[in-house]
Amino acid sequence: MASKRFYQIAKVVLQFGLDDLIPGHWIPWYAKAGRYSLFWLRNRHTDKSRGQRARLALETLGPVFIKFGQMLSTRRDLIPADIADELAILQDHVIPFDGKIAEATILASLNIAAIEEIFTDFDSVPLASASIAQVHTAKLKDRGDEVVIKVIRPGIEPIIESDVELLRSIATVVQKWLPDGKRMRPVEVVEEYQKTIFDELDLVRESTNGMAIKHNFSDSKALYVPHFYTEYCTRDVIVIERIYGIPVSDKAALLAQGTDMKKLAERGVEVFFTQVFRDSLFHADMHPGNIFVSTQRPEDPYYIGIDYGIVGTLNAQDKHYLAANFIAFFNRDYRKVAELHVDSGWVPMDTNVDDLEMAICSVCDPIFQKPLDEISFGHVLLQLFNTARRFNMVVQPQLVLLQKTLLYVEGLGRHLYPQLDLWSTAKPFLENWMNEQIGFKAFYTKIKNNAPFWAEKLPDMPDLIFNTLSQLKTLPELQHKQFTELKAQQLANQKSTLYGMIGSTCFVIGVLLVFNAMPIYYELVAFAVGGIFWFKALSKLIQKD
């Protein structure tokens, strides 16, 4: 299955002429020879631009590749503008599937005989179509609320399964054969991605994620999350409040309504860091097709976020180390950054901290005191990655979503307000968060939160102390017993090994006697003695078990 899919991918790449996008001096001779050998797979779209060919190829290959194109579309500093413009179409203008199929899915999922039982003004022409699902507009019959109905693409799961299986096969080869394979942990990264994308296929999970983030931002002036009608949510269909706003990619419309672009860009950074560090739950699919800006209060703008199929989470330890690293970066305390990497286990414990500090300094120091339009964090990350290779830094799969989302946030900030200083915008937030995690205030908060639990367990404390002291009293006797048993087990192992070696030696001697035509009773004695010692070795093993 993997080989068949690999051929299909190669076929699409060559038939859309994507190999022409790679500079000739980058391609080794054996790759060129392989290309010429596939003479029947020629570019069939010479009439289209390179951007169109890239977009159509990704659409042909399916959702895994479409999502890759969505991320690339936000990185105009890494890819040419004409390709980025075409890939931006993938954000919400993927080729739709038949509206009748969508209607049939809605009927089956909601267990109704006709769409009119629940909805009015249902539009079979999709409002938008993405890689995993598409949405149709309607009104709720009983309330009159305007809604959108999101429907999963039919037959999408087997396609994703085959693509993920292919990625796993490639990752296994990379991890086994490339020098940096084990450090990069590609298999774990693919497994993390598999969990993420299959979660996106379950729309019940999306509604749960959306409602959780809506609760977290219920009093926020920076982000609005639409209402989810949970009574109409299934694995394949969800019904959501319809929102009206300006796509964040439509900068001309935002400027036309007088939007404060600086405040809007800063609030994007605020929303991201709030989700990551305060809530430990962040929207991890923040491409422009999922982010809108309200037409209300352009002087005090806020975002409207949709599509919560992919979210990321971080545990307390990861959050602490990330925040501490960010603050150390802001303060140019590269010594602290190096020490944190060692303490967290991201680099081996025997790493020379002085060398790591100097390497980080050489990469990161030049990025400060510059506006965002002169800084490419994509390039900085690439340089850090190359630097990390020298110190055997291990890839953290749980941070892959966070890294991807940070790239989205950078692309969004670069688009809206190129002069935005991402670091100075985020620094006060992170410092406040760290102050809440350490010091007297954090100590008081932990005591306050744990006080009810301690009060509940307080009456049991005398019994717990008595039981603990009783166990400590018998501990020396128990340790002596365990030591005696362990010593006897080791002695049995040694005897079993010795008897086995003697038995094998006797057997070999018996075989040699046979080949040298010695009297038969010599051979029988050797085999008999060998058998006796093998039996004794087996007996010792049985006694040990």
Please write the tens of the pLDDT for every residue from 15-53: 787 766 665 555 555 556 665 666 566 777 777 888 888
Instruction: Give the tokens for residue 396.
Output: 């953290």
Residue type, 177: W
Catalytic residue from among 92, 236, 285, 307: 285
Question: Cα separation of 400 and 73, whole Å?
Answer: 18
Neighbouring residues of 164: CB distance < 8 A, sequence distance ≥ 6: 64, 190, 193, 194, 197
Q: What is the mean pLDDT of residues 168-192?
A: 69
Look at residue 108 in the predicted model and tell me its pLDDT: 93
Q: How would residue 402 be classed by pLDDT, with cut points 50, 70 and 90? A: confident
Helix (H, G, I), strand (E, B) or coil at 295: coil
The answer to whether the beta carbons of residues 58 and 12 sit under 8 Å apart is no
Cβ atoms within 10 Å, residue 143? 9
Per the model's pLDDT, the better-predicted residue between 100 and 77 turns out to be: 100
| Collapsed DSSP state (helix, strand, coil) of residue 11 | helix
pLDDT at 78: 57
Instruction: Using the predicted structure, report yes or no on whether residue 184 has a pLDDT greater than 80.
Output: no
- Residue 84 and residue 459: Cα distance in Å, rounded? 66
Per DSSP, 279 falls in state I
pLDDT one-digit tens code per residue, 412-445 = 777 888 877 766 777 787 777 777 776 566 667 6
CA distances from 353 to 217, 333, 334 (A): 40, 13, 10
Please give the residue that has the higher pLDDT: either 383 or 200: 200
Angle at which helix 2-15 crosses helix 156-177, to 10 degrees, equals 100
The per-residue pLDDT for 226 is: 95
Residue 85 falls in the annotated catalytic set: no
66: confidence class by pLDDT, cuts 50, 70, 90: confident
- Residue listed under structure tokens 């209300």: 296
543 against 489, higher pLDDT: 489
**Residue pLDDT, tens place only, 220-261:** 999 999 999 999 999 999 999 999 999 998 899 999 999 999
- Averaged confidence pLDDT in the chain: 79
Read off the pLDDT of residues 338-354 as tens digits, 9 standing for 90 and up. Answer: 888 888 777 788 888 88
- The CA–CA distances, whole Å, from 532 to 106, 257, 541, 543 equal 75, 96, 14, 16
Higher pLDDT, 441 or 318: 318
Reduced to 3 states (helix: H, G, I; strand: E, B; else coil), residue 247 is: strand
Angle between helices 50-61 and 63-73 in degrees, nearest 10: 140
Q: What is the pLDDT of residue 28?
A: 59
